């Protein structure tokens, strides 16, 4: 017999079912709340509200646990690859060697995009933010591939998923190449997923691009760490947009825009800009931390804090270690890394941050690696989107398979003017 929660309103008591997940999380099912009581729940920012049941990713914010389909992020970071993690998130199980081979080859041979996309990008201003270009381009994918847009047709979904995973690196690199006035590169099918992305980004038609294995491995790790994260802002955007039964490309385009915000995925760019400002303005880390604590100062310690993680972000620990490994192997001395380490040390011992349970998140160190391998600041969030793509896809597919599926339509509490009559303009 399921547990219940009793809710008393006035002289009425409502018995609500308690739902329990596989990790012991519990929720009160309020689907009959309004019909039985005339009341709705109120939870701006949804910090106490579950939007769905999901089997994709599990986070324990108190213990700093992150698992994709039950596999700890630490093990996937050490043993897996981004394409294997993409398969795991989307299909729910680790692939056999044959399944992984077929998946990898399908992605490898769909990386080219329609030639007309070149004029699509060329129409954008040179200084267009790559996230704007990517959101627009992904939304436009449906116009180039109208044959696979039905979200309720499994075969069309499979085709769209593979096309999107395969083509996004190419589309992302076009946004960058356009901004620096270099020719778009064609995909190189002799290279693996990340190696191909690197040659798309940093190769030129003038010479054969040599992939640096240290950089290739570091990017693959970063993509794994960003691949999914439960019902975060952009995943919830993909689900809400997708709940109208728009095609995959439309829903993902909405997610890219949500990720762009500096409070979400845009934080990785904001962190590196913060570190560079501290360096260039000759500020000490302590001076900046004091500014971040000052209510009268809009500065925030970007890359710190999280709605869910209240002790530490397991991804940050892995990225911080990778920072030292990669920069050491590349022989890069990074003042930005020194500042980041100092900021972390000060903040972790400052009551303001400790009391508010603010700890470094996934974005705090990732930009240091991106910078060290030559990624321009405004491409950092595109890298986040590249990593998050399989997670968004998995969440979108799970939503369509959910027996509880319905179009998302939150309620509100109206606080505006009560009824009043129209006043002709001459009498106002
Ligand atoms: C991501 O949800 C996900 O899973 C997201 C993500 C994913 O993988 O998808 O993990 C990726 O988005 C990571 C977060 C990246 N964003 C940042 O690093 C931006 C800086 N952090 C914040 O703006 C903030 O911490 C949030 C947005 C991340 C979380 O916001 P909350 O939980 O709504 O917290 P809040 O804004 O209500 O702040 C609570 C208090 C406030 O102070 P008081 O009003 O209590 O005095 O903490 C303060 C805030 O002012 N605070 C900060 C701070 N973050 C919160 N003060 C200084 N610096 C900060 N970074």
pLDDT, tens digit (0-9, with 9 covering 90-100), for 257-300? 999 999 999 999 999 999 999 999 999 999 999 999 998 998 89
From residue 315, give the alpha-carbon distance in Å to each of 252, 268, 312, 318, 319: 23, 13, 9, 5, 6
**Taking 80 as the threshold, does the pLDDT of residue 201 lie above it?**
yes
Cα 95–chain centre separation: 23
420 CA distance to ligand 1 middle (Å):
41
pLDDT tens per residue across span 405-414: 999 999 999 9
Q: Which of 47, 26, 32 is nearest to 236 (CA)?
A: 47
127 CA distance to ligand 1 middle (Å):
29
**Taking 90 as the threshold, does the pLDDT of residue 2 lie above it?**
no
Across 145-170, average pLDDT? 97
Look up 39 and say whether it is catalytic.
Answer: no
Residue nearest to atom 4 of ligand 1 (CA): 232
Is-contact 398 239, C-beta < 8 A? no
Catalytic choice (129, 306, 313, 350): 306
Pocket of ligand 1 (CB under 6 A): 229, 232-233, 263-265, 267, 292, 300-308, 356, 358, 361-363
214 CA distance to ligand 1 middle (Å):
32
Across 126-149, average pLDDT? 95
Residue 197 is predicted with a pLDDT of 98
Across 298-325, average pLDDT? 93
**Taking 90 as the threshold, does the pLDDT of residue 64 lie above it?**
yes
pLDDT tens per residue across span 13-28: 999 999 999 999 999 9
- State the pLDDT confidence band at 190, using cuts at 50, 70 and 90: very high
Catalytic choice (188, 192, 350, 363): 363
Helices (H), ranges, 145-247? 154-180, 193-202, 213-225, 233-242
Which token pair is 364? 């705090």
302 CA distance to ligand 1 middle (Å):
8
Residue 1 is predicted with a pLDDT of 61
Q: Which of 179, 185, 184 is nearest to 124 (CA)?
A: 179
Strand partners, 8: 13
Residue nearest to atom 18 of ligand 1 (CA): 303
CA-235 nearest atom, ligand 1:
9
Distance CA 107, CA 83 (A): 9
Q: Among residues of the chain, what percentage have pLDDT more than 70? A: 100
User: pTM for the whole thing?
Assistant: 0.95
Q: Which of 130, 380, 179, 198 is nearest to 272 (CA)?
A: 380
Which token pair is 95? 């692939």
For ligand 1, pick from 300, 305, 319, 389 the residue to mutate: most ligand atoms within 8 Å of CB: 305
For ligand 1, pick from 45, 306, 353, 388 the residue to mutate: most ligand atoms within 8 Å of CB: 306
Residue 50 is predicted with a pLDDT of 97
114 CA distance to ligand 1 middle (Å):
40
CA-300 nearest atom, ligand 1:
58
Residue 406 is predicted with a pLDDT of 95
Is-contact 359 348, C-beta < 8 A? yes
CA-59 nearest atom, ligand 1:
4
48 CA distance to ligand 1 middle (Å):
16
Is-contact 242 151, C-beta < 8 A? yes
Give the other-Cβ count within 10 Å of 188's Cβ. 18
Look up 306 and say whether it is catalytic.
Answer: yes
From residue 2, give the alpha-carbon distance in Å to each of 29, 30, 424: 11, 14, 59
């Amino acid at each position: 017999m399921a547990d219940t929660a009793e809710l008393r309103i006035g002289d009425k008591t409502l018995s609500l079912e308690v739902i329990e997940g596989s990790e012991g999380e519990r929720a009160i099912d309020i689907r009959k709340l309004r019909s039985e009581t005339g009341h709705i729940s109120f939870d701006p920012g949804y910090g106490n509200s579950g939007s769905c049941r999901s089997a994709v990713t599990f986070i324990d914010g108190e213990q700093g646990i992150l698992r994709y389909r039950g596999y700890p992020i630490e093990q996937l970071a050490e043993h897996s690859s981004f394409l294997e993690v993409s398969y795991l998130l989307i299909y729910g199980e680790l692939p056999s060697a044959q399944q992984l081979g077929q998946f990898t080859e399908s992605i490898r041979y769909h990386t080219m995009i329609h030639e007309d996309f070149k004029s699509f990008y060329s129409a954008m201003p040179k200084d267009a933010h790559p996230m704007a270009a990517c959101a627009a381009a992904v939304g436009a994918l449906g116009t180039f591939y109208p044959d696979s847009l039905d979200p309720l047709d499994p075969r069309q979904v499979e085709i769209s998923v593979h096309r999107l995973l395969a083509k996004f690196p190419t589309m992302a690199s076009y946004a960058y190449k356009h901004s620096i006035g270099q020719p778009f590169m064609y995909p190189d099918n002799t290279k693996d997923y990340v190696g191909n992305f690197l040659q798309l980004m940093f190769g030129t038609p003038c010479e054969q691009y040599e992939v640096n294995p240290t950089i290739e491995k570091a990017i693959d790790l970063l993509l794994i760490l960003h691949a999914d994260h439960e019902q975060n802002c952009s995943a919830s955007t993909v689900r809400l947009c997708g709940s109208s039964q728009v095609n995959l490309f439309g829903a993902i385009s909405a997610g890219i825009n949500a990720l762009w915000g500096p409070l979400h995925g845009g934080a990785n760019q904001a962190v590196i800009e913060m570190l560079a400002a501290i360096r260039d303005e000759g500020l000490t880390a302590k001076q900046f931390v004091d500014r971040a604590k000052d209510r009268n100062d809009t500065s925030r310690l970007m890359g710190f804090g999280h709605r869910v993680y209240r002790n530490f972000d397991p991804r940050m620990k892995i990225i911080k270690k990778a920072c030292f490994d990669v920069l050491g192997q590349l022989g890069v001395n990074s003042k930005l890394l020194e500042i980041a380490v100092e900021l972390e040390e000060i903040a972790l011992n400052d009551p303001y941050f400790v009391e508010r349970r603010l700890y470094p998140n996934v974005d705090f160190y990732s930009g240091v690696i991106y910078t060290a391998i030559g990624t321009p600041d405004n491409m950092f969030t595109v890298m986040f989107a590249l990593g998050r793509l399989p997670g968004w896809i998995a969440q979108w597919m799970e939503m369509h398979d959910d027996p509880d599926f319905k179009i998302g339509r939150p309620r509100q509490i109206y606080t505006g003017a009560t009824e009043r009559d129209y006043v002709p303009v001459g009498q106002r």
